């Protein structure tokens, strides 16, 4: 609980609130632009009825157009949800080194001997993305299989958590820990999974996922500094 309070105090400072607004603004612009392009594309679909010699063909094509429009509109909520999580995480990852540096200077003054290389962390995240895409293919197949489509949403929820957890925990850990500690780091501990799962649930609230990733980074930075590096918990 003390970590949570300290993280809140850090979050509601001018510097960190400014960091929070950056992912919010950029993610909103990207997301709105993509949705605008998607709806423009659907609205611009032109089915050439003259290419068919019978009335049924034209009706089928118009039915397909209506179907695509319905899918686009009904799936908009889920698309907004997952894109907000993804964009906020990606954009915040560029701010993570600065956030962790501020937390360290303010509370811990830990001097890292060496850092994990950019190529190593990029390769690690790339493998995570490949696994994600592999499982995503099967989850999408479940959507069109009548017997299995009822669990597709749950599987998608779990799959997105897998991506969310790995990106967030490894992103923060790579900035907090030195190279040796990072290479021996075991993220799949209950305290990390539980905290990140709560963050993931909060990110499923519309637009919250745009604003709170900076707080998630602050909290995990405190947790990693204290638990992995055995540093004293800050009192202020």
pLDDT digits (tens, 9 = 90+) for 155-198: 888 888 999 999 999 999 999 998 888 988 988 989 999 999 99
For 69-104, the pLDDT digits (tens) are: 444 444 444 555 566 667 667 777 888 899 999 999
Burial group, residue 186, by CB count within 10 angstroms (0-12, 13-18, 19+): exposed
């998607």: which residue's tokens? 38
For 37-52, the pLDDT digits (tens) are: 766 665 555 545 444 4
Question: What is this structure's pTM?
Answer: 0.75
């Amino acid at each position: 609980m003390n970590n949570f309070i300290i993280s809140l105090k850090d979050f509601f400072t001018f510097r960190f609130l400014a960091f929070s607004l950056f992912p919010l603004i950029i993610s909103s612009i990207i997301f709105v632009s993509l949705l605008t392009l998607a709806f423009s594309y659907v609205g611009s679909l032109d089915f050439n009825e003259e290419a068919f010699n019978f009335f049924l063909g034209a009706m089928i094509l118009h039915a397909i157009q209506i179907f695509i429009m319905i899918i686009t509109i009904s799936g908009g909520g889920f698309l907004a949800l997952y894109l907000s999580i993804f964009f906020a995480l990606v954009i915040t990852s560029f701010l993570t080194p600065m956030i962790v540096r501020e937390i360290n200077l303010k509370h811990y003054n830990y001097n890292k001997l060496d850092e994990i290389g950019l190529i190593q962390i990029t390769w690690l995240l790339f493998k995570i993305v490949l696994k994600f895409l592999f499982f995503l293919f099967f989850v999408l197949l479940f959507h069109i299989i009548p017997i299995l489509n009822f669990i597709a949403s749950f599987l998608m929820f779990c799959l997105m958590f897998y991506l969310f957890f790995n990106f967030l925990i490894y992103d923060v850990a790579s900035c907090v820990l030195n190279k040796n500690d990072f290479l021996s780091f075991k993220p799949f501990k209950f305290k990390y999974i539980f905290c990140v799962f709560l963050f993931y649930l909060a990110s499923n609230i519309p637009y919250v996922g745009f604003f709170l990733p900076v707080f998630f980074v602050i909290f995990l930075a405190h947790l990693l500094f204290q638990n992995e590096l055995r540093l004293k918990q800050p009192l202020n």
